[in-house]
Amino acid sequence: MLGAIIGDMVGSVYEFDNIKKVDFPFFSERSTYTDDSIMTVAVAEWLLSDNTHSHEELEKVMVKYAQEYPFPMGGYGDGFAQWLFRPERLVDYRTGELAGKRVPYNSWGNGAAMRASAVGWKFRTLEETEKVAALSASITHDHPEGIKGAQATAAAIFLARTGKTKQEIKDYIQNRFGYDLDTHTDEIRKTYGWEDSCQGTVPQAIRAFLDSTDFESAIRIAVSLGGDSDTLACITGGIAEAYYGEIPLAIYKKAVGMLPAEFIHVLKVFEQGSFYGEKTARTEDETGLTERKYTPDHITSLAQNEVFVFGSNLQGSHSGGAAAAAARYFGAVWGQGVGMQGQCYAIPTMHGGVDAIRPYVDEFIRFAKEHPELKFLVTKIGCGIAGFTIEEIAPLFYHVIDCENVILPKEFDDIVHDIHNQFIDSFDHDADRTEW
């Protein structure tokens, strides 16, 4: 969800002063959150506080946040502002009569999509994600295009956080919602102008994500298209965070320092009460939010001190799975199947059973302990092309439990800690019995 807020803040400067290039100052003195971020946080609070997902509770929380932050940069859209602050003037488009209360106003505006990112993180199934996304939109934006925009945004985030490829995300969104995602952003940029509709914003935002190589580039591409740049980047940033799994630390800290304490609190609580933990579980750091605890599913960039740990073969043929990513992004050397190379570390998994892999894992752990200045991001080695199960491979990493610079996939980490807890329980049981 923070990714969406960052996109909003970066794009805020260029909403009414478009910049048609990706090379621009990422943050400036004028960068700030807008109505996009305010309502994103509002929806997150609604999801946390109301398990029934009622419109009544959503209305309360949206109005509360609007009253607390009544004058964001760029203001609120005209229709939404009337819904928020002058509901007695609303006319029910379904009857043509004065409603005298807050009612949906048949909008297809991109406000439905800009606030939907939290929904993409909250639920276990895609079906539930799209159902609640529709509810989050229809309280105001009940036009089919408004609902579709919110659903597509939340669905893209759900698919990204659950490990789907860009092609899989693209195919689903095109087939499910009928959006054209075939046009590259280099072509969109040439003719794209102001758009505040879902149908004129959401496909372009998703395409910006598809054309990106990391979180930052996704935001830059979205802003560079022009138009409603903060909303474009807000939608793109939410998807990019879910897909790439990590926001660069410098961007992360800068963004957190620009947010109200209330926003940070909601973000922290939301992370604890959603499926952030499946992909982006975090531990406390000095920023007031958190830093990654588990290896993300998708890694295409690393910090200077990070090492990509992948499963290889002894021949060093880095042609598939994580090995291909290691060769493409992190300097894996063709013909070298073991150990440190470039910004990655190879553990062979294709030459025998688990016992044949064990010595290489042990050697890796020794190496990691000798290099505390590095942080090793272990992928699910052996659990892809090699054909082993997580239950077979994860126990090999038991001895990283006291090695703070080794980060495991959540599935590995859970098993390692289960083994550790079983050991502790058995030790305590034996001690109690001896004392008795």
Query: What average pLDDT does range 183-194 have in this prediction?
Result: 96
Amino acid 417: pLDDT: 85
Amino acid 320: pLDDT: 82
Q: Find the helix or strand (DSSP H, E) in which 200 lies.
A: none
Amino acid 246: pLDDT: 75
Amino acid 418: pLDDT: 87
pLDDT digits (tens, 9 = 90+) for 3-14: 999 999 999 999
pLDDT digits (tens, 9 = 90+) for 269-324: 887 766 654 444 333 343 444 444 788 877 877 778 899 999 999 999 988 888 98
Q: Are 135 and 53 in contact (CB under 8 A)?
A: yes
Amino acid 435: pLDDT: 37
What is the spatial distance between Cα 77 and Cα 82, in angstroms, rounded to a whole number?
9
Amino acid 281: pLDDT: 35
- Position 426 confidence tier, pLDDT thresholds 50, 70, 90: low
In terms of residues, how long is the chain?
436
Gyration radius (Cα) of the chain, Å:
24
CA dihedral 327, 292, 26, 264 (to 10 degrees): 170
Q: Are 137 and 147 in contact (CB under 8 A)?
A: yes
Which domains does the chain carry? 2-284 (1.10.4080.10), 306-423 (3.40.220.10)
First to last CA, the chain: 53
The tally of CA atoms less than 13 A away on the side-chain side of residue 1 is 36
- Position 423 confidence tier, pLDDT thresholds 50, 70, 90: low
- Tell which wins on pLDDT, 428 or 253: 253
Percent with pLDDT over 90 in the chain = 74
pLDDT digits (tens, 9 = 90+) for 204-256: 999 999 999 999 999 999 999 999 999 999 999 999 999 987 788 889 889 98
- Position 428 confidence tier, pLDDT thresholds 50, 70, 90: very low
CA distances from 8 to 1, 5, 238, 259, 308 (A): 11, 5, 10, 12, 30
- Position 85 confidence tier, pLDDT thresholds 50, 70, 90: very high
pLDDT digits (tens, 9 = 90+) for 94-105: 999 999 899 999
Amino acid 427: pLDDT: 42
Parallel, antiparallel, or unpaired for β 375-378 and 306-312?
parallel
What is the spatial distance between Cα 12 and Cα 29, in angstroms, rounded to a whole number?
11
> What b/e sequence results for 352-361 when a residue is b if at least 16 CB atoms lie within 10 Å of its CB, and e otherwise?
eeeeebeebb
- Position 115 confidence tier, pLDDT thresholds 50, 70, 90: very high
What is the spatial distance between Cα 71 and Cα 418, in angstroms, rounded to a whole number?
50
pLDDT exceeds cutoff 90 at 258: yes
